[in-house]
Amino acid sequence: MATENLQGSNAWVLALDHRWFAAIGERELVHLVETPTLLEVPTCPYFCRSVLAWNDRLLPAIDLAAWLQQQPRVDHHWKLAGIVAYQPAPGVMPDYGALLLADIPERLPVTDAQACPLPEQPPGWRELALSCFRRGEDAIPILDLPYLFTGGLLTR
CB 45 to another protein: min, Å: 6
CB 89 to another protein: min, Å: 12
Nearer to another protein, 93 or 154 (CB): 154
Distance, in Å, from the CA atom of 72 to the CA atom of 65, rounded to the nearest integer, reads 9
Max distance between CA atoms of the chain, in angstroms, equals: 45
Q: Which stretch binds another protein (CB under 8 A): 7-15, 17-25, 57-65, 128-136?
A: 57-65
Single out the residue of 13, 14, 22, 51 in contact with another protein (rule: CB under 8 A): 51
φ, ψ of residue 154 to 5 degrees: the values are -75, -15
Beta strands in 2-151 (DSSP E): 9-15, 21-25, 29-34, 38-40, 50-54, 57-62, 80-86, 95-101, 106-110, 129-135, 138-143
Single out the residue of 65, 68, 142, 153 in contact with another protein (rule: CB under 8 A): 153
Q: Is 33 in the site for another protein (CB under 8 A)?
A: no
Binding site for another protein (CB under 8 A): 39-45, 48, 51, 53, 57-60, 62, 97, 148-154
